[in-house]
Amino acid sequence: MDRDTDSGIIDICNSLKKDGLTLEGMTVLITGGAGFIGSWTCETLLNLGARVICLDNFASGLKDNISHLESDEDFTFIKHDISKPIRIDKKLDIVMHMASRASPFEFDKFPIQILKANTLGIWVALGIAKKHGAKFLYTSTSEVYGDPDQRFVPTPETYNGNVNPVGPRSCYDEAKRAGEAFVMAYRSQHGMDTRMVRIFNTYGPKMRADDIYGRVVPRFIEQALNNDPITVFGDGTQTRSFTYITDQVEGILRLASTDKASGEVVNIGNDKERTILDLALMVKELTGSSSDITFHPLPVDDPKRRCPDISKAKRLLKWQPKVGLKEGLLKTINAFKTGGM
Contact residues: ligand UDP, CB under 6 A: 104, 201, 215-216, 219, 231-233, 238, 240, 276, 299, 302
CA gap 144, 269 in Å, rounded: 14
Comparison of 132 and 219: residue with beta carbon closer to ligand UDP: 219
Comparison of 231 and 320: residue with beta carbon closer to ligand UDP: 231
- Active-site residues: which are they? 172
CB of 158 to ligand UDP, least distance (A): 21
CA gap 133, 192 in Å, rounded: 8
CA gap 16, 22 in Å, rounded: 7
Comparison of 50 and 216: residue with beta carbon closer to ligand UDP: 216
Are 44 and 111 in contact, with CB atoms under 8 Å apart? no
CB atoms within 10 A of CB 25: 11
CA gap 300, 130 in Å, rounded: 39
Comparison of 94 and 224: residue with beta carbon closer to ligand UDP: 224
Letter for the amino acid at 294?
Answer: T
Query: Cis link prior to 165 (omega < 30° from 0)?
Result: no
CB of 229 to ligand UDP, least distance (A): 10
CA gap 107, 333 in Å, rounded: 26
Comparison of 38 and 104: residue with beta carbon closer to ligand UDP: 104
**Per residue in 96-131, is it b (16+ CB within 10 Å) or e — as a string?**
bbbbbbbbbebbeebbebbbbbbbbbbbbbbebbbe
CB of 276 to ligand UDP, least distance (A): 5
CB of 279 to ligand UDP, least distance (A): 8
Letter for the amino acid at 280?
Answer: A
CA dihedral 271, 198, 69, 219 (to 10 degrees): -60
User: How do the residues of the chain divide into helix, strand and coil, expressed in percent and rounded to 5?
Assistant: 45, 15, 40
Comparison of 86 and 225: residue with beta carbon closer to ligand UDP: 225
Residue 48 has, within 13 A of its CA and on its CB side, a CA count of 32
330: Cβ contacts below 8 Å, ≥ 6 apart: 286
CB of 248 to ligand UDP, least distance (A): 14
Q: Is 211 left (phi over 0), alpha (psi -120 to 50) or beta?
A: left
CB of 331 to ligand UDP, least distance (A): 18
CA 184 vs. chain centroid, Å, equals: 20
Comparison of 28 and 115: residue with beta carbon closer to ligand UDP: 115
